[in-house]
Amino acid sequence: MNPGPIVDLIDAFRRSKVLFVATSFGIFDRLQGATASCAELAAELQADPDALERLLDGCVGLGLLAKHSGIYTNTPVANVYLWRESPQTLSGYIRYSETALYPLWTNLSSAVKEGGHQWKRTFGAEGGSLFEHFFSTEESKRDFLAGMNGFGTLSSPSVVAAFDLSRFRSLVDLGGATGHLPIAACERYPNLRGVVFDLPVVVPVAREYVAKSSAADRMDVIAGDFFSEDLPDSDLFALGRILHDWAEPKIRLLLRKVYDKLPPGGALLIAEKLLADDKTGPTHVHMQSLNMLICTEGKERTLPEYAELLKEAGFSAVEGKVTGKPLDAVLALK
């Protein structure tokens, strides 16, 4: 019997940590459009040359760097997803994964026994919460939003293409962060207007991203808290990676609030990872659901579970589409 799957899992955290450390050292930023030897990088980073060479060669083995005659440079995938200034960068989320998620996952056993997130056990009484951590500093806020934008650009074009949204006049994305979903929607549907609705601390960053879109003249950014404040008028709302953060009582509150604001014929577009109906897969959704366990009060759900919550809020037809991207799509009609 082949032990390969077990050995691969034993090794998996090592590969992640190589990515985390190389990103935190700024190696992919340094090698964007440039080359360097290990000796040059060791001098710049004040690192042990032999140890750094092992790290760099590990990145070569992982396909993140190329090496020719002792000279290192980024591979194309590193230029797109690991260079901090790339529009599709995931570097912010990688740094968040190292500083927050990696420590939190060491307490997975406690989370399973207790059924709750592990912020206090991991970071102490002053550790705050997931969302407090996101916005604790300007740098961490921008890093996290850039990382989420990178994931968003992987998924949002497919989410807005999963259903024909051409009949709608406006889309308000609640908790829309950098606006990647309404940007994708407005760029696909020329008669649609888009709104990013998020906390005041997010608004300045969201406006920067929206301004770069070819549909910027049909988009706006509005500050607000979707739990405590009135929602803007719209015939289409969106919730992207929002519902998986919360337990059912808060989800019911938010879904009912959206339903009440929609006109007849309006709809709610949800972007989340969908578990198979019998919850046997996909594995990446299982991993994200465990991630929500250690970080939040939420979890990933099946389409029937979302449909039950949506119909309880008043929605009628509910349809789901698996996109093949990090996030799937659900459309619920009023």
CB 201 within 8 A of CB 268: no
Whether 244 sits among the annotated catalytic residues: the reply is: yes
Which tokens belong to 279?
């919850």
Instruction: Write down the H helix ranges in the chain.
Output: 4-24, 27-30, 38-45, 49-61, 76-81, 91-96, 102-105, 108-114, 119-123, 130-134, 138-161, 180-188, 203-211, 248-261, 283-295, 303-313
Rounded to 5°, angle at Cα 112 from 111 and 113: 95
For the chain, counts of helices (H) and of strands (E): 16, 12
- In sequence order, the 6+-apart residues with CB closer than 8 A to the CB of 220 are 193, 194, 195, 196
Cβ atoms 153, 219 nearer than 8 A: no
C-alpha to C-alpha distance for 101 and 72, rounded to whole angstroms: 29
Q: Where are the domains of the chain?
A: 4-81, 138-333
Class of domain 4-81: mainly alpha
CA distances to 68, 126, 136, 243, 309 from 297, in Å: 48, 19, 20, 10, 16
> Residues 117, 180, 244, 286: which is the catalytic one?
244
Structure confidence by residue, pLDDT tens digits, 12-55: 999 999 999 999 999 999 999 999 999 999 999 999 999 999 99
The two beta strands, 236-240 and 170-174, are parallel
Closest CA relative to residue 101, chosen from 14, 16, 10: 16
Please, are residues 175 and 197 in contact by the beta-carbon 8 Å criterion? yes
Residues of the chain with pLDDT under 50: none
What is the pLDDT, as a whole number, of residue 141? 83
pLDDT at residue 166, as a whole number = 97
Note whether 4-81 and 138-333 share their fold: no
Distance CA 68, CA 189 (A): 46
Tell me, what's the pLDDT at 135? Answer: 72
Q: Which CATH number fits domain 138-333: 3.90.320.10, 2.102.10.10, 3.40.50.150, 3.30.365.10?
A: 3.40.50.150
Which is it for strands 193-198 and 170-174: parallel, antiparallel or unpaired? Answer: parallel
Q: Which value, to the nearest 10 degrees, does the dihedral of the CA atoms of residues 219, 223, 227, 232 take?
A: -40
Q: Record the pTM.
A: 0.93
- CA-to-CA distance for 211 and 219, rounded, in angstroms? 9
